[in-house]
Structure 1
């Protein structure tokens, strides 16, 4: 066969591959149908389809985002000593991960909340995604756990509380105050404001809370927007690994930098630990050590997360029973 004939034969085969692949993968035709249409054997059709995939002419993508992995979830649950864990498949950038984790948290809330509960909500981008994905909820009262950060209304905890209350038909108790202020005296004055004080009084009645987890090393926390680099380094030096609702914890689960909490309008450590059910929603492998620290600190009883964070957590030391007692 001449070189020209060889090129022609290769082009013919590629053309057959395209036709066979289009009929098989797009039109859902059978191999027997394709063989009849093209005047070739069904065995050649099978070879053409194999060649189409091997050459990259045909690629197959499985869109598994949002699919749950109960086996991985059970492994993480035992590793962290939690009551429940949900692990979902995710892909794409961090915003896409937050969207899927937030949606899974929304589905869990809708399935497990009971009428008459008091629901406490912290803030964060994952909780913003959760509030946007909420279906209709049982009637519950909703209270904000912390003050706000920044001026973006879409990501404000006030908006998260409002959306959730609308979906449940219950009352909303927002906190119209900044989360972090310059000194403890200003924070104390804000806590005495009537509307803020009314929200704080509800903390003892909370039956379920949903929180996000911020990582300080590596840095991935909205709370870091409120402080300068010098204070961030100072807090890292005293051992901060992660945070929930501005409660800063170390790798061993101890509360650190209480002077920082004195400057915050937020739920207190003892109040948080007294909540019967605390669902942490977080995704991304970079938050694994922060999540482990939060579990040791007894600041979550459940976790909703993605595969990347779940697998990274399993690579860390197991959280002991003493750490969860």
Structure 2
């Protein structure tokens, strides 16, 4: 067969690339069919299609909810000094719950892909972490020890699922779990101090502080917070935290835009790993989804609370566009 790509100029060659790409990707022609139509060899068609992709004339985009946006991930790592990031595309979800599920799935995969696989893993609780736990697949680890990072015993009828969440992650990793048998927030600092002196509590807190990897959600400031739903805080408490500059919480500890504690007196009544201990742990994976989490994610990055971030493209864009 004699080839007829004899124009020799750049415009003609680009036109040929475009024609091949349109026939292949838009009209669903096979390479053999294209070769016949354009009087080319099948080998030449294959080369032209490869060139179209390499030159950027053709861009292939994966839009499955499990897909990740590598450019944004790299940019986040470079901008904020992260060791890892996973970014779920915005079009992977049609609403808030689907977005949360997509980010939870990505976080579960991110955790499963760690090398080496963690032997001692610290976990928080809440809606975000529940989404992560639901996507942990059996066999992701072999003999993992999961330890709870912050208190969770509920004080209302609204369930938070913290023990079940931690147990689900441990079970999928053929491991065991150490729970923190205390409330998230108590009425007095002296109560917290007394509880922390109990060996069943101090032992878990010490274990958590020695975890090699922790994974935790970031909570937005609002009356729909799980801390409100679980009875620890009231709407007035949330209003007061907002007035103090709080933008959300990490491990139940509310932070301002620069990552500092919004209300030290509340922090003195909060049980669990504190933020200074958190930042001493080697691998810290923060997970957050949706526009309501933008400010608290930014604050967490400013404080250096995480070494890796799993989030959505909208949040990534917000973070990268900030001065």
Q: TM-score, normalised by structure 1?
A: 0.73
| Displacement after TM superposition at 1:312 (Å) | 2.0
CA contact (8 A) 1:73 1:87 kept: yes
Alpha-carbon distance in structure 2 between the residues aligned to 1:134 and 1:310? 24
- Residue 202 (structure 2) aligns with: 197
Equivalent residue of 1:213, what SS?
A: strand
Count of aligned pairs:
257
Alpha-carbon distance in structure 1 between the residues aligned to 2:195 and 2:255? 24
Q: TM-score, normalised by structure 2?
A: 0.73
What does residue range 47-62 of structure 1 map to in structure 2 within 5 Å?
none
Is 1:124 matched with 2:130? no
Alpha-carbon distance in structure 2 between the residues aligned to 1:160 and 1:287? 21
- Residue 274 (structure 1) aligns with: 280
| Displacement after TM superposition at 1:219 (Å) | 6.4
| Displacement after TM superposition at 1:190 (Å) | 2.5
Partner of residue 173 from structure 1, selected from 146, 170, 178: 178
- Residue 313 (structure 2) aligns with: 307
How large is the RMSD of aligned CA atoms in angstroms? 2.3
Structure 1 gap ranges (5+): 1-27, 31-61, 318-325
Partner of residue 253 from structure 2, selected from 242, 247, 257: 247
Higher alpha-carbon deviation: 265-274 or 233-242: 233-242
CA contact (8 A) 1:248 1:255 kept: yes
Please say which structure displays the higher CA radius of gyration: 1
Q: Which of the two has greater helix per residue?
A: 1
For residues 24-73 of structure 1, give each alpha carbon's deviation from its aligned partner in whole angstroms, at most 9, with x where no partner exists: xxxx999xxxxxxxxxxxxxxxxxxxxxxxxxxxxxxx963221110122
CA contact (8 A) 1:286 1:309 kept: no
Alpha-carbon distance in structure 2 between the residues aligned to 1:220 and 1:77? 31
Is 1:143 matched with 2:129? no
Higher alpha-carbon deviation: 79-88 or 119-128: 79-88
Runs (4+) of structure 1 moved beyond 4 Å?
A: 149-153
- Residue 271 (structure 2) aligns with: 265
Structure 1 residues 260 and 314, CA gap change in structure 2 (3 angstroms): same
Equivalent residue of 2:113, what SS?
A: helix
